[in-house]
């Protein structure tokens, strides 16, 4: 949200909240962040990665990313958290293709319905 807020000249934090319409932009920003986390993890300098509370800060009053307000973003962030958890505990995969393929598959399923 800080990135969006600063880069869009907004004065109200509610106007700076991501929406499902921002999905591509979110994926680019988050992918960069995840790459940084994985690079730091793989450096061997850290013993743990600590994730925020149970909902991964999604349902906070500031971000407002919820299953009802932003279902696509909520699902994406859950997938990112699962990917990081799985990767850091030893399961290997390509973050961008794994997460983006999952999203593409979900999008295709919703179009078919």
| Predicted confidence pLDDT, tens digits, the chain (113 residues) | 556 666 667 666 666 778 899 899 889 988 998 999 889 888 988 877 777 665 655 666 667 788 888 899 989 988 888 888 888 865 434 444 555 566 666 666 666 66
What predicted TM-score, i.e. pTM, was given to this entire model? 0.63
Cα 45 from Cα 6, distance rounded (Å): 31
For residue 62, give both structure tokens. 């500031």
Cα 37 from Cα 62, distance rounded (Å): 23
DSSP 31: H
The structure tokens 């600590």 sit at: 50
Contacts of residue 13, Cβ cutoff 8 Å, sequence gap at least 6: 1, 5, 62
For residue 38, give both structure tokens. 């994985």
Instruction: Write out 37-102 in H/E/C secondary structure.
Output: HHHHHHCCCCCCCCCCCCCCCCCCCCCCCCCCCCHHHHHHHHHHHHHHHHHHCCCCCCHHHHHHHH
Q: CB of 66 within 8 A of CB of 59?
A: yes
């Amino acid at each position: 949200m800080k990135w969006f807020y600063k880069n869009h000249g907004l004065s109200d934090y509610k106007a700076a909240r991501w929406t499902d319409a921002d999905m591509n932009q979110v994926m680019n920003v988050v992918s960069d962040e995840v790459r940084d986390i994985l690079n730091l993890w793989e450096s061997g300098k850290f013993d743990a990665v600590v994730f925020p509370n149970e909902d991964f800060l999604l349902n906070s009053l500031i971000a407002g990313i919820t299953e009802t307000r932003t279902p696509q973003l909520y699902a994406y962030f859950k997938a990112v958290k699962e990917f990081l958890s799985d990767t850091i505990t030893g399961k290997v995969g390509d973050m961008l293709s794994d997460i983006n393929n999952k999203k593409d598959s979900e999008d295709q399923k919703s179009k078919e319905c």
